[in-house]
Amino acid sequence: MTGRISCKMVAAYLREIGIDYIPVPLRGPSSEAAGSAAKEEPDSPAAKPAVSPRKEREPHGGETLEEIRQELIACRGCPLCSGRRTVVFGVGNPHARLMFVGEGPGEEEDRQGEPFVGAAGKRLNRWIARIGLKREDVYIANIVKCRPPGNRAPLPAEAASCLPYLKRQIRTIRPEVLCTLGAVALQYLLDTNEKITRVRGRWRVFDGVPMLPTYHPAFILRNQAREHEVFDDFDLLAERLRLK
């Protein structure tokens, strides 16, 4: 056969011998990009996000701490609202790995609108610094958000009114570890009658989050000989969080 063979002639010849389809590999920018993306190592710098996944994730259920706080400001769910100066919502890093839960605000907390700012707060800050963190690194909240009269422990009805807000805070922050401060926080959060002196330093679980009970800073201010027990508990927190 002489001369140039056209595509039509080749197609006709192939049909005569029974071949009517020839697979042809795709070429072009899109396929090359797909190929290079498939070859990229998942742990390579180009594949890693520029921001930590804890910082870029969406809050649980699309809810933010500020939205919860704004809702709580209007709360009239129990009689504590009538005597408060301000709602003591919580303070700290909204992406904290470690979250502390106390029982309720005192007079100074009610005045400033921030939990643990008095003498007990200063002691707590020292414990936090002892494991290499700062107050701004953690999140601190209470079982109830309004000050009980005379700084008494919250009543069951008062705690029941506030607990849904606290649970929403925990689920929004999603800490790796919880630490309850004192018997009241332990008992209301886990719905238990266990004594803090018997269970401090022993891991529990709340809503899938490891939780370690320890003493309240105010208790240690009155019983400083027992502070070494808190140091042991905070060593357990540091170990769980792999802090140096």
Half-sphere exposure of residue 119: CA atoms within 13 angstroms, side-chain side: 5
The pLDDT tens digits of the residues spanning 167-205 come to 999 999 999 999 999 999 999 999 999 999 999 999 999
Structure confidence at residue 242 (pLDDT): 96
The pLDDT tens digits of the residues spanning 15-52 come to 554 545 444 443 443 333 333 333 333 333 333 333 33
Calpha distance 162→137 (Å, rounded):
24
Instruction: Report, as an integer, the average pLDDT of 53-63.
Output: 50
Calpha distance 168→99 (Å, rounded):
13
Question: What value does the CA radius of gyration of the chain take, rounded to a whole number of Å?
Answer: 30
User: pTM of the prediction?
Assistant: 0.75
Structure confidence at residue 62 (pLDDT): 76
Q: Which 8-state DSSP code applies to residue 148?
A: P
Q: What angle do CA 204, 213, 90 make, to 5 degrees?
A: 105
Which CATH topology does 61-241 take? Uracil-DNA Glycosylase, subunit E (3.40.470)
